[in-house]
Amino acid sequence: MHYELDHPLMKQKMTLLRDKETKFKQFRELAKEITILVAFEAMKDLEVEETRVVTPLVETTGYKIKNDIVIVPVLRAGVGMLDGVLNLAPKARVGFIGMYRDSKTKEAIAYYEKLPEDLKNPYFFVIDPMVATGGSLIATIDLIKKKGHKKISIISILSAPEGIAAVNKAHPDVKIFTGVVDEKLDENKYIVPGLGDAGDRLFGTK
């Protein structure tokens, strides 16, 4: 299941993000702003419980989030979205998972994994700018589920239909929240029309 954010601000910011003339500083700023918009929607599934709060006038009923929120950027490009999510959930805990693709088998292999422990009713949000083939995200979710965690959603900026379909098939219980769903993957597995290599554009490495 996936949710595409249909919003005027998203459309304008995505246009600027796609532009090949957008430099990495502005690209990072736009990626952060888009992440905030998508993450706000993704976090609607968090659970709340009642609490009491005293306003300047009276005591009344308030709410607090019951879940331990865990943000998991997929290295390296997911790191470029981390500040955006933490703006919404500053008390969230952060884990990291690094993936590389085996040149022969084409399978995603984890080379680094560090997840928080001692969690109470955790909700994991896996962040990656692009859902392309979906392979790295599927492997990341596999790893999180092996740790016994079940509440997981994906936050992305841009997705391909092929990647969404692959993740839905492997993990039908995981929701994908994305800024935009593009047309397709090309023969080189790049999203079209896309925005190029998100990692390079975020960190100025190309």
State the catalytic residues.
101, 105, 197, 200
The β-bridge relationship of strands 175-181 and 2-4 is: parallel
> Residue type at 161?
P
Residue 65, token pair as written in the block: 């989030």
Distance CA(82)–CA(73), nearest Å, equals: 7
Distance CA(69)–CA(63), nearest Å, equals: 16
**Beta bridge partner(s), residue 112:** 98
The interaxial angle of helices 24-42 and 8-18, nearest 10 deg, is 150
Consecutive H or E run containing 54: strand 48-54
Give the length of the chain. Answer: 206
3-state secondary structure at position 78: coil
> Residue type at 63?
Y
Residues 164 and 176 sit within 8 Å (Cβ to Cβ): yes
Distance CA(195)–CA(206), nearest Å, equals: 13
